[in-house]
A and B are shown apart, each in its own frame.
Chain A
Amino acid sequence: MLPATLPLLGMPLPGEGAGVAAEAAGESVLPPAGLALLRWQWHEVEAPYLVAVWILVASLAKIVFHLSRKVTSVVPESCLLILLGLALGGIVLAVAKKAEYQLEPGTFFLFLLPPIVLDSGYFMPSRLFFDNLGAILTYAVVGTLWNSFTTGAALWGVQQAGLMASTVQADLLDFLLFGSLISAVDPVAVLAVFEEVHVNETLFIIVFGESLLNDAVTVVLYKVYNSFVEMGSVNVQPVDYVKGVASLFVVSLGGAAVGLVFAFFLALTTRFTKRVRIIEPLLVFLLAYAAYLTAEMASLSAILAVTMCGVGCKKYVEANISHKSRTAVKYTMKTLASCAETVIFMLLGISAVDSSKWAWDTGLVLGTLLFILLFRALGVVLQTWVLNQFRLVPLDKIDQVVMSYGGLRGAVAFALVILLDKTKVPAKDYFVATTIVVVFFTVIVQGLTIKPLVKWLKVKRSDHHKPTLNQELHEHTFDHILAAVEDVVGHHGYHYWRDRWEQFDKKYLSQLLMRRSAYRIRDQIWDVYYKLNIRDAISFVDQGGHVLSSAGLTLPSMPSRSSAAETSVTNLLRESGSGACLDLQVIDTVRSGKDREDAIMHHLLSGGLYKPRRRYKTSCSRHFISEDAQARQDKEVFQQNMKRRLESFKSTKHNVCLSKSKLRLRKAGRKKKDGSADKETPNGKPHQASNLPDTAAVILAVESDEEEESDSSETEKEDDEGIVFVARATNEVFQEHKVPGSMDVCPSPRVIPPSPTCAEKELPWKSGQGDLAVYVSSETTKIVPVDMQTGWNQSISSLESLASPPCAQAALRAARPRACAPPRGEELRDPLAALATPAPEPHAGFTFTPSLAKAGRSRSESSADAPEQQELQPLMAPEDHGCLSPGTANARWLIQFNRAGRL
């Protein structure tokens, strides 16, 4: 009981605030005497101030509602808001002695409705929508026509039967007009209620799609009847009826066309915003709103226009705009829609208080309630029966019940009825009262009961499982199979046309509307993969702390790995399943190699490097000394590290098996990081902090090689080679500039690492592929304090192309930072490696010998290169730990690159 009263208690508070504001308005009229230090300028700010206050009140009310989970789980928010509106309206009425702040049709249609419709159109699950388009259109067009005719006619019949007061002066046309406005299912109300009910997605999309699309029919009917009424029923010519029917097509198709045209422009515009990312979200809203206003101006269906705009543009816009903009669009849209919805319901409640607009007639009210329920149910059953003859998945009885019962009316009906001209429609007041009752009844009573009803009927709920990669893959396979079967059968059905459309879209539309870089990577499977990775990355980072700590303690999988020669997945799993991480989510996390890079992305976006930084600090306590500077440095180091990885990711994509290696990498990296951190602590040099992430990365690289070996296949090698070759070519160019700078930073190595041969022997990947070189080199690129700024810039630019699959361009870009790194990375690693040597971990042995590993590999791979390789080794080994001159480092890498290229 207590929670139930909570919102009630909450209500007067914001209400009083509004009352105070209203009173203040009254006081402000007094002119100031003489020169005033302060002047009360209420009038200048009145309008926007009131708007702000209303939204604030609504938001506060929402917060209060959601304080209690119990209340909101039972009562839909829309009901609570309407009740709040009623209370507020009562207060305002009592204070101001007149009903103020009502729902004005102008405000509603121009400002409150568009955001909601845009939101629902933009985030409409388009696949689902188009899959069920037939059903949706049927319900929206035929259903609405049926509802309005039958309701209007039946009400007229009731009046003729004498069940209404004689004061209700209306003829058939008036009733048909009323029927048209009252029969349309309201998108706002439906959305508000159904979003909380969670019925299965097919059912939801049908009800919701209907509510969106029936707007066209409602608008047409309303306008046609309205003009008929204004003309007077006697003057209506037969040709006007024809015009009325024609206008149905004009309004609906015209609205849709306007929406699509604007969607096209929107997509096209966002294609060129690369340098002005900041206005991307704005463009989305502006053009969508322009579509709405244009359609409204041409008296086309504005709702349809903005819906189609949202549905049409999303794919391209999402591909074009930056990740940040995407988030901005999403949140702004949701915020606006939620605001508008809240305000609408609240104002509805307030408007109902104004009894001056009312005229109650029991017969009319009860008749309307009865008929809208009855005819909706009847219409749904009839239409469903017809539709089920064609539908592959028939809608069963339970679905039909929910659909009939889910026909909520809302603010659209109310706004339309307010718009009626009282001189032409003498029964307007009665209609207003009836509409209010109907809206309240459907939103409150039906809204309250639909959830229990759905539960009771055991309607198939939507199960919110996470989208899985497998699922996505299988669904794509299905699509192709189905299209193929239709081809084989020679029947051009839905799948055939969908397939055709996708081909067309890929060939022309996407190419025209998408940024070149975005177009390249445009693929749904890839998208899902990418999203999943981001999700995993976030969860990984979120729980990074404890993973790390536990991982640092044990390295159980190490011995087994070296002997392992099974499939890589097995290895991976073992890796992830090992003591390092015990919860399943982490296993999920391990899914792919992009995680880490995505994590960076996430961090860059959110700007919160909170956890990682903290984690880092705990691992090496000396950083506590100078808190501020250290923190900043840590952050930088972390970012840098992440970015490097990101770049390396790009390069690895050109290489063999990235995900596996990454998985492995991460695990190992974490462990290593921990271990090495402790050892490093005594060094005390600030820049060595950078070593930590660095080592991790290096180890990763090495390990990945093992992995690769286990599942090496000829094909991989081949195409890796091709792409990598390009990258190397650029490496050579860039290296010359980069190396000197990097050399300065190198900490002087103090310990000599173990002999390469020994490490080489230990390495199980000797017979691996030749692409290791690039891989390792990219991984060693981790930390470069001096070049930080350049590195940063590079990686920022590369962030954009993060998701891009290997293409020559990306390779070139990636090559840059990679090129500069190898010597540096090598050097940085050295002290660490040396420190690590005594440790029993097998890792320590090969941390610092990527080049050797490389050598070993290539040797085994092609005997022709073997001698050369061996010759190089002695050279390379000293270089690895000596303080190299830029030239030597350069040369070495050049050689390596060349060799790899030849390979």
Chain B
Amino acid sequence: MKVSRAYQSELESEEGKGVSSEQIEQLHRRFKQLSGGQPTIRKENFNNIPDLELNPIRSKIIHAFFDNRNLRKAPNGLADEINFEDFLIIMSYFRPIEPNMDEEQLERCRKEKLRFLFHMYDSDSDGRITLEEYRNVVEELLSGNPHIGKESARSIADGAMMEAASICVGQMQPDQVYEGITFDDFLKMWQGIDIETKMHVRFLNMDAIALCH
């Protein structure tokens, strides 16, 4: 509690403009609710959210909340628990673009969002989405439908991987090896697609989040 208060005031002083503390307040209330009054949230706390139950990639998403890469703490590994500040950092990935952003900011924003997604796929933090990792994600994505088996998921993942390879590398040499999708490849695949319209949450349409950076 103290930490977050301090953080919040820091935020406010940092930018000097009136941060809507109301929204942070709201997030903080939710945070407390999730953590059960504790200063930090553990993984188990997320299991208490009933709405998450049905989400097929629930585990991956919860994972992302504790991912040190997303928390900007370490190049790999998982955090055991996150405090409110971390919580806000994670939430900041979902902030919408703002109308007054310039090109550079837009690009950075876009990259950050994509990096979040990339980290979700790249579960072993080696900077590469390997086929195995991709398959895992696709399997989970499709796990909502009991009639689509793992084989189909695998073939879809394989197809997607092939596609990725053909997009990113183009013509491959016979002895060339495509080990996995790097982040650069990932960006390449997203070229021309408006991610900004897709990865943000209305609730986070607030300056507070933007200030986390």
- B203 to A486, Cβ gap below 8 A? yes
Q: A804 → chain B, closest Cβ, in Å?
A: 8
Q: Which of B49-88 contact A (CB under 8 A)?
A: 49, 51-52, 54-58, 61, 64-65
Q: A126 → chain B, closest Cβ, in Å?
A: 16
- A653 to B56, Cβ gap below 8 A? no
Q: Which of B99, B142, B199 contacts A481 (CB 8 A)?
A: B199
A520–B185 Cα gap in the complex (Å)?
A: 34
**Closest A-chain residue to B202, C-beta based?**
A493
Q: A368 → chain B, closest Cβ, in Å?
A: 35
Q: Which of A202, A503, A587 contacts B54 (CB 8 A)?
A: A503
- B91 to A485, Cβ gap below 8 A? yes
Q: A83 → chain B, closest Cβ, in Å?
A: 37
A679–B33 Cα gap in the complex (Å)?
A: 76
- Interface membership of chain B positions 92-111, coded 1 if the CB is closer than 8 angstroms to chain A and 0 otherwise: 00101101000000000000
A424–B194 Cα gap in the complex (Å)?
A: 53
Q: Which of B64, B167, B194 contacts A468 (CB 8 A)?
A: B167
- A474 to B163, Cβ gap below 8 A? no
Q: Which of A470, A567, A658, A804 contacts B151 (CB 8 A)?
A: A658
11 contacts between A and B (CB under 8 A): A390-B202, A469-B160, A526-B156, A560-B175, A588-B163, A591-B159, A591-B166, A659-B154, A659-B162, A711-B132, A805-B149
**Closest A-chain residue to B46, C-beta based?**
A488
Q: Is residue B117 within 8 Å, beta carbon to beta carbon, of the partner chain?
A: yes
**Closest A-chain residue to B52, C-beta based?**
A487
Q: Is residue A807 within 8 Å, beta carbon to beta carbon, of the partner chain?
A: yes
Q: Which of B96-132 contact A (CB under 8 A)?
A: 96-97, 99, 117, 120, 130-132
**Closest B-chain residue to A396, C-beta based?**
B99
- Interface membership of chain B positions 137-154, coded 1 if the CB is closer than 8 angstroms to chain A and 0 otherwise: 110011011011111101
Q: A563 → chain B, closest Cβ, in Å?
A: 10
A487–B154 Cα gap in the complex (Å)?
A: 29
- A484 to B30, Cβ gap below 8 A? no
- A481 to B61, Cβ gap below 8 A? yes
B58 partner residues in chain A, CB cutoff 8 A: 484
Question: Which of A17-25, A610-618, A714-722, A864-872 contacts its partner?
Answer: A714-722
Q: Is residue B210 within 8 Å, beta carbon to beta carbon, of the partner chain?
A: no
B166 partner residues in chain A, CB cutoff 8 A: 573, 584, 587-588, 591
- A393 to B96, Cβ gap below 8 A? yes
Q: Is residue A36 within 8 Å, beta carbon to beta carbon, of the partner chain?
A: no
A465, A470, A503, A567, most chain B CB atoms within 10 A: A470
- A593 to B165, Cβ gap below 8 A? no
Q: A484-B55, A577-B171, A805-B148 are in contact. Are A590 and B162 (CB under 8 A)?
A: yes
Q: Which of A463, A482, A486, A594 contacts B192 (CB 8 A)?
A: A463
A532–B166 Cα gap in the complex (Å)?
A: 14
A523–B142 Cα gap in the complex (Å)?
A: 8
- A488 to B34, Cβ gap below 8 A? yes
**Closest A-chain residue to B134, C-beta based?**
A473
A421–B91 Cα gap in the complex (Å)?
A: 61
Q: B58 → chain A, closest Cβ, in Å?
A: 7
- Chain B contact-residue range equals 35 or more
Which residues on A are within 8 Å of B, measured CB to CB? 202, 388, 390, 392-394, 396, 463, 465, 468-471, 473-478, 480-491, 493-496, 499, 503, 506, 519-523, 525-526, 529, 532-533, 556-557, 560, 566-570, 572-574, 576-579, 582, 584, 587-588, 590-594, 653-660, 663, 711, 713, 715-716, 719-720, 723, 804-807
Q: Is residue B12 within 8 Å, beta carbon to beta carbon, of the partner chain?
A: no
A660–B159 Cα gap in the complex (Å)?
A: 8
Q: Is residue B207 within 8 Å, beta carbon to beta carbon, of the partner chain?
A: no
Q: Is residue B200 within 8 Å, beta carbon to beta carbon, of the partner chain?
A: yes
B197 partner residues in chain A, CB cutoff 8 A: 202, 392-393
Q: A808 → chain B, closest Cβ, in Å?
A: 10
- A468 to B189, Cβ gap below 8 A? yes
- B33 to A557, Cβ gap below 8 A? no
Q: A713 → chain B, closest Cβ, in Å?
A: 8
Q: Is residue B174 within 8 Å, beta carbon to beta carbon, of the partner chain?
A: yes
**Closest B-chain residue to A573, C-beta based?**
B172
- A493 to B201, Cβ gap below 8 A? yes
- 5 nearest interchain CB pairs? A577-B172, A520-B147, A487-B51, A659-B155, A592-B159
- A573 to B163, Cβ gap below 8 A? no
- B49 to A573, Cβ gap below 8 A? no
- B201 to A659, Cβ gap below 8 A? no
B144, B162, B172, most chain A CB atoms within 10 A: B162
A839–B166 Cα gap in the complex (Å)?
A: 32
A593 partner residues in chain B, CB cutoff 8 A: 155
- A480 to B55, Cβ gap below 8 A? yes
Q: Which of A476, A477, A569, A574 contacts B120 (CB 8 A)?
A: A477
Q: A218 → chain B, closest Cβ, in Å?
A: 30
- A392 to B162, Cβ gap below 8 A? no
Q: Is residue B183 within 8 Å, beta carbon to beta carbon, of the partner chain?
A: no
- A478 to B117, Cβ gap below 8 A? yes
- B174 to A577, Cβ gap below 8 A? yes
A532–B160 Cα gap in the complex (Å)?
A: 11
A582–B172 Cα gap in the complex (Å)?
A: 10
